[in-house]
Structure 1
Amino acid sequence: MEIQISRAAQGEAREARGAAAWAWYGLGVLLMTTLFAFVVRQMLSLIAPALQTSLGFTDLQLGMLQGLGMAVFASVASYPMGWLADRFGRRLLLALGVACWSLATALFAFQDSFGGLFAATIGIAIGEAGLAPIVFALIPDLFPERQRNTANFIFYGGSLLGAGLGMALGGAMLQWLAGAHDMFPGWLAGIDSWRLAMMLIALPGPIFFLLVLTMPLGHHGGGAGSPTAADDAAPRDFIPYATAHWRTLACIFGSIFAMAVAMTSGLMWFPLALPRAFGIDPATVGVGLGTAIVIATVAGVLLAPLMLRLRRRDADLDPVRAAAIFVALTPLPAALLPFAASAFQVYAIAAVQGALGIAASSLMPGVLQNLAPPHLRSRVLALLGIVNALALAVSPLAIGWISGLIAGPRGMLYAITIVSLPALVASAILMAFAPGPYASTLRAIRPALLEDSL
């Protein structure tokens, strides 16, 4: 009998190790797929000067292309993608999204008009709309609760690190393409570098499509990852849930929106603002800004768990309170931007501000996974995609309009500050008010989470 029990235990241990290995494989696929999406998104910013040169676009048109094209349609598509993912499978929807944005990226390279580029950008936006809600909804399916925060930090930090690397590699790619036309066949030699870059980054699309389809479909129980008695008592539809907990959603998602407006303003416009202000090459900005993002990502992702270790007062509320501290500090470096005397100083400001913002943002996936009932998880997390998409719409348009009103080579730097500084202040205020409503939501939908603090 003891031998049978021992064998059964060994079999369960092997099964658990196999499930863990598949879970980490799934996280790797999610991370690589997100990196691919970030490279596409960053390239749209890096080629902005080339679009102005070759097609004669105005700042406002670039703002519409990067803002409205990406943001409005991503926002419109985000909730339906979350709804479909909750019902028909998150893995399938993610694979279809990869196929959509890869095809749209390839088509972008062959457009000659604003309308054609705008339509291709819409395709990229729709494909990427389900990325955030599906990925963050999949992580609790793959990992048990004890490993979830670790998986969240790895994914969030890795994806942002990829955003910085993507910008740096994108800048290096544009530099290489600008001087390598003689290496290409005759039919490619006369094609603009920005078109070649979009073609190249579309090529891995089928590989990522297949990788997503090979992901495991984990189903871990407990905590925020599976239904409980409290979940069964929770509203089954999204609207009653949102109505009951609107204060929590308003504080957290309002803060995320304001932070995204500030962060987007720099990422989108520095490739155009720094060449104007300091006379440097746009591709050089990609390398410098990408390096700053990498440094900010590493620092931010390390700061978040360090703050949680230092606090250790309330495991469920500490992430929200720690995020409030980080967000409250972000306006300080942002206020220094108008006084920057060199591109290096701008990179330093971006690195410090980015590290604080990333530290706060890296805590949000766990916060959102906790406040979302499992049967509504993709739809609640779809709000993350919606607010980020709206920020992507507001920021480029506002800065493009304001920069047109300010004369001089530093006008766009001033415009970035005018938009980002009030947004950061608003984000800090909203996050400071978030812990109270957030605790009430946790008590309502999962009372067991706060038993120890009552």
Structure 2
Amino acid sequence: MLGVLVLVYMMHHLDRVVFSLLQEPIKDEFQLSDAQLALVSGTAFAIAFGVAGLPLGYLADRRRRVTLLSIIVSTWSGLTALASLATQFSHLLILRIIIGGAESGSTPTNLSLISDYFRDKRSTAIGIYMMGSQLGTLVGFAITGVVAVHYGWRAALLAAGIPGLFLVLLLLLTVREPLRQSAQKAGSFVAGLREIGGNAPLVHLIAATTIANVVAPGISMWLPSLLMRAGGQDIGWTGLAIAFTTAPIGILGTIMAGALTERIGATSPARMSRLMALMAFLYIPAILIAVSGGPWVMLAGFCAHLFCHMFVSTPGYAMCMNISAPHVRGSTTAILQVLSNLIGFGVGPMVGGVLSDILRPQFGDDSLRYALGIYVFLILWAVYHLLRAAAIFSRRANAPVQPAPA
């Protein structure tokens, strides 16, 4: 069961990252600015994600999750393949909006299923699930990069979308709906939000994870363009290089972070929060390396940032699940996803794109280097929230996080 959900998350991430790899040939064909690229790659997608995310998270707490997930996967996969037929910018924009709305329901539904299937090893299971994003990077950049070189970006979108339709069949045949852990009936949507908002350490963890997820897509979405423009590489080299450097590092970081969270996250949440704060602070030198030097230096810096990010994002989701009541876990995940995507995936890449356009007359193809450097200032805000969460946990006498009543 977990393996199938990892594949779902892999396809979720693949359909997202493939567009960042293909945006340079798309930009050339439709004569787009960096701001327009950011709009279709990030902002429009994120707005739809934000609008649809909370309602779909609400449904994940109340409806049959396997059926809901199958509808979600078939929608985004079919529309990703359909995007290969776009003949103008507006077509891509509309399709990306609908895809964003569909993808917003994936992780809330998946994590709700995982939380009920793996009650004793939840952090480890979530860590394994999070590996799907790195597998999506590996498969997405490697395969679609090669396809794009030989057959063009339209064929690459077909290669990214069609496998998801077959995955839906596997999902329906192999994953069974588990009994919900909570016997408490889920209340209204507003009541659930009020309950989440009243959990102080949860609010700080959501804030920190959101900010970290602002920085990550801001860097990762523009990395292929940075390698092609400032690094002078073609799309084939870029896809393979990103796939076989960042994905293994991301998988290693996810496994280590999940295991560490399982070991100390539930018994010493204050200690785990401080470790997350340290790893978030280390984003700063990693990002500065990623926007300097040649292609391999860029990749080294991004890999370092990605490794640190796994020690913020994976524990962030796992600890939020641990301290959320079972009947609001879908809504908690939806809030995380909506904020991370609406603010992070929506605003983050757009800021980089607009700054790059402004700086291009002065710096040319190096404008992205300077534009992406702004992200180092944001991460200090995440460090603050993680230290606040640690302080609250400490005031509670370092007691283990008590599981919510089943």
Instruction: Give the alignment's TM-score, normalised by structure 2.
Output: 0.90
Letter in 2 for 1:387: L
- Give yes or no for contact 1:97–1:126 (8 Å, CA) kept in 2: no
State the shift of 1:315 in Å. Answer: 4.1
Q: Which residue, out of 299, 309, 312, partners 1:360?
A: 312
Asked if 1 retains the 8 angstrom alpha-carbon contact of 2:270 and 2:398, the reply is no
Corresponding residue for residue 195 of structure 1: 154
1:69 to 35, 41, 44: 44
Alignment-mate amino acid for residue 264 of structure 1: P
**In structure 1, how many angstroms separate the alpha carbons of the residues matched to 2:12 and 2:110?**
12
1:7 aligns with none
Q: Counterpart amino acid of 1:244? A: G
State the match for 2:225 in structure 1: 272
Q: How many residues align?
A: 399
Partner of residue 216, structure 1: 176
Q: Secondary structure at the match of 1:47?
A: helix
Tell me, in whole angstroms, the C-alpha distance in 1 between the residues paired with 2:216 and 2:401.
35
Q: Is the 8 A contact 2:352 2:372 kept in 1?
A: yes
- Answer with 33-42 or 395-404: which moved more: 33-42
Identical aligned residues as a percent = 24
Q: 1:289-347, CA deviations, whole angstroms, 9 ceiling, x for partnerless residues? A: 22232232133124425655886993444433332222122212122344x22100000
Listed as ranges, the matches of 1:77-96 within 5 Å are 77-96=52-71
C-alpha deviation, 1:381, in angstroms? 0.9
Residue in structure 2 matched with residue 374 of structure 1 by the alignment: 326
Superposition RMSD in Å = 2.9
Distance in 2, Cα, partners of 1:29 & 1:298: 17
Q: Which of 424, 427, 431 is matched with 2:386 structurally? A: 431
C-alpha distance in 2 between matches for 1:118 and 1:442: 51
Q: Could you tell me how far apart the structure 1 residues matched to 2:56 and 2:396 are?
A: 25
User: Is 1:47 aligned with 2:22?
Assistant: yes
Q: SS at 1:372's partner residue?
A: coil
Q: 2:265, 2:330 → 1: CA distance?
A: 29
* 1:129 maps to 2:104: yes
Cα 1:142/1:50, change in 2 over 3 Å = same
- 1:398–1:448 CA distance, 2 compared to 1 (3 A): closer
Counterpart residue type for residue 218 of structure 1: P
Change (3 A) 1:250 1:44: same
Distance in 2 separating the partners of 1:312 and 1:140: 16
CA contact (8 A) 2:192 2:328 kept: yes
- Is 1:157 the counterpart of 2:109? The answer is no
Q: Deviation of residue 241 (structure 1)?
A: 0.6
| Alignment partners' CA distance in 2, 1:60 and 1:371 | 39
- Give the Cα–Cα distance (whole angstroms) in 2 for the partners of residues 123 and 399 of structure 1: 24
1:407-418 correspondence to structure 2 within 5 Å: 407-408=362-363, 409-418=365-374
Alignment gaps of 5+ in structure 1: 1-25, 178-192
- Contact 2:323 2:403 (C-alpha < 8 Å) held by counterparts: no
Letter in 2 for 1:426: W
1:99 is the counterpart of 2:74? yes
Q: Residues of 1 paired with 2:63 and 2:395: CA distance?
A: 31
The 10-residue stretch of structure 1 (378-387 or 236-245) with the greater mean CA deviation from structure 2 = 236-245
Largest Rg, 1 or 2: 1
For structure 2, which runs of at least 5 residues remain unmatched after alignment?
none
Match of 1:350, as an amino acid?
A: F
